[in-house]
Copies of this chain bind each other. A is one copy, B any other.
Amino acid sequence: MLPRGRPRALGAAALLLLLLLVGFFLFGRDLEYGRLRGSASLDGELTWDHNRSACVPLRSLQPKCELLHVAIVCAGYNSSRDVITLVKSMLFYRKNPLHLHLVTDDVARNILETLFHTWMVPAVRVSFYNANEFQSQVSWIPNTHYSGLYGLLKLVLPDALPPDLVRVIVLDTDITFASDIAELWAFFAHFSDKQMIGLVENQSNWYLGNLWKNHRPWPALGRGFNTGVILLRLDRLREAGWEQMWKATAQRLLLTLSTTSLADQDIFNAVIKEHPGLVLLLPCIWNVQLSDHTLAEHCYSEASDLKVIHWNSPRKLRVKNKHVQFFRNLYLTFLEYDGNLLRTELFGCPSQPPPRAEQLQQALAQLDEEDACFEFQQQWLTVHRVHLTFLPLDPLPSEAHDVTLVAQLSMDRLQMLEALCSHWPGPMSLALYLTDAETQQFLRFVEASTVLSARSNVAYHVVYREGPLYPVNHLRNVALAQALTSYVFLSDIDFLPAYSLYGYLRASIKQLDLGSQRKVALVVPAFESLHYRLSFPTSKAELLALLDAGSLYTFRYDVWPRGHAPTDYARWREARAPYRVQWAADYEPYVVVPRECPRYDSRFVGFGWNKVAHIVELDAQEYEFLVLPEAFTIHMPHAPSLDISRFRSSPAYRDCLQALKDEFHQDLSRRYGAAALKYLTALQQSRSSA
């Protein structure tokens, strides 16, 4: 097992050569599509066994660290979730740098651009292409497939992708990898001079044209090909005039056939029927098709044969298949896989680190692991993956005075969502701090809730968990940045606003004639219920009655009165009109502000002082605080969160919080100069009185 110099190396080279020759002799020629025509394929008696034996590893033939290109068409909210599971499975097995070419609509682009930017996977480059630009090239084709117009866009890839891009693997979003994509890429080496499209045969009987009476599929060779996985030689397609080729075929066929049923797949097959020499047949294990009643199970004889699974049934995971449990578990593995674990360096292949990654690595490396506040510093520097608008969103056109409720939560507050929806009919932008597996629980929770499923103006932004402390202010900033209205109500998830608040706020903004130029923070007075079965007050009068009866309290009256004292509850009781109040130390009211308000300081992680710092910032920027006389919001009781109980009792935790406050005030002085002096003085006073 030890090197003995040259003779050994020569031996290895000889082995490679032998493999190459023998491999080519055995398989190379069969891969030519021409041979298939005279064979068993067309009379329906396929024996799939030999497809397997073609899978001798071919990696060794490829240059190590070769950049592989993958193109995916992706549109809308749901496909954007699907594509992430596909990408996770691909990244789990890949050993090469990848370049993803994503043809997207605006929705998918917004989601995926943010996702990849924050995912920071080394040795993965992502380029976006605007689907709208190419739609006109396919929109004239009548199509009844569930993928809609977007399925057809695969036809325009030779035109849409950069002219110097030669090879690309094209994938549907409902694909799951069970192997290294480089093994698939290796089939490019098997293309003859004339071949330009690599495809797996279709595993359903669709193109045989006998599924029902008068079933008239588009023309195809035998059972046709499936376009869920395609290898494209873009250079050759361009040279051969692909665009003219498929357009001419489609136009001619549409004279007799009314629509395509299977989108791009019908057209690919029709072109191939006319030009069979274009195609290299790929082994069927590279696109095991799980539509109902397919021949897929003849394609593999053991789990280790499977390379790529294609969930091409409209029933998706509920498809009937002999081995569906196996396939489903593979899919669930990646659906729930912690994407953070895919951030590992591809250490055999040198690659440029993703933007920001290098500075971050350096900053993290400079932290002192022995520092008592190490966890705080590390958490602050952590870049969380962000999946914006995890669920479909369909907001109404925003009015000038509209207000979005902004809040953040983790799994243990999910049960607040229904009540919150019943109290706030307006738009919401919520950041959820979840693991990949928890996103699926969240999804099922929303699907099971008629209240939540009915809402189309609630945006859920998933921030993926990483690190021991709750990044409360980063979450707030994510939700705040996604608000689509001119005003935002900065709330917390355990508060239920007055039923009337949404309407009242819009009316107040209009009435007060707040231009977006005016720096105003409207204060919504906060109360708390210690009873968990509260009959919620429907008016200010009812609220005051409950307050007098001792069923409600002003918020944190007993443990943290400074937080809301400046709101002046006594004055509010009598007030008929908005009144101005002055900032004081530790003030942290719930406010309505223009969307362009300052962001939260994201170094405050875990619990404590996170809202206080934001209110200081508002005051430093000379926002007026105006208390609204009819507005109120009530904190609902709950058990302390895991995060809070883990740290509340720790003196080290409080010391770190103090250090954060000090840093914050130093920054404040730098930015606002002498004007910031009052905050420091207030802090010192509060510290000496404590």
A residues with a Cβ closer than 8 A to B are: 1-4, 8, 11-12, 14-15, 18-19, 22-23, 25-27, 30-31, 35-36, 39-41, 46-47, 49-51, 53-54, 56-57, 64, 95, 180, 281-283, 301-305, 323, 325-326, 329, 332-333, 336-338, 341-349, 411-416, 418, 435, 437, 441, 444-445, 448-449, 468, 530-533, 636-642, 645-646
Contacts and interface: CB of A to CB of B under 8 A. Distances in A.
Contact of A412 (B31, B346, B412): B412
Contact of A1 (B23, B36, B415): B36
Of all A-B residue pairs in the complex, the 5 with the closest CB atoms, nearest first, are A302-B348, A329-B341, A532-B637, A95-B304, A326-B344
A304 B348 contact: yes
A427 to B, nearest CB: 23
Number of copies: 2
Contacts of A15: 22-23, 26, 56
A69 to B, nearest CB: 20
Given A36-B1, A281-B1, A333-B341, A50 B8 contact: yes
Nearest to A11: B26
Contacts of A341: 329, 332-333
A351 B98 CA distance: 39
A47 B3 contact: yes
Contacts of A414: 642
A345 B332 contact: no
Given A1-B281, A26-B11, A347 B639 contact: no
Given A637-B637, A639-B416, A1 B54 contact: yes
Given A345-B323, A416-B639, A36 B445 contact: no
A688 B232 CA distance: 71
Contacts of A441: 642
Given A3-B47, A26-B15, A326 B301 contact: no
A64 to B, nearest CB: 8
Given A332-B341, A333-B341, A531-B637, 7 more contacts: A11-B22, A180-B304, A302-B348, A326-B345, A415-B642, A532-B532, A637-B639
A24 to B, nearest CB: 11
A533 B532 CA distance: 12
Contacts of A12: 26, 53
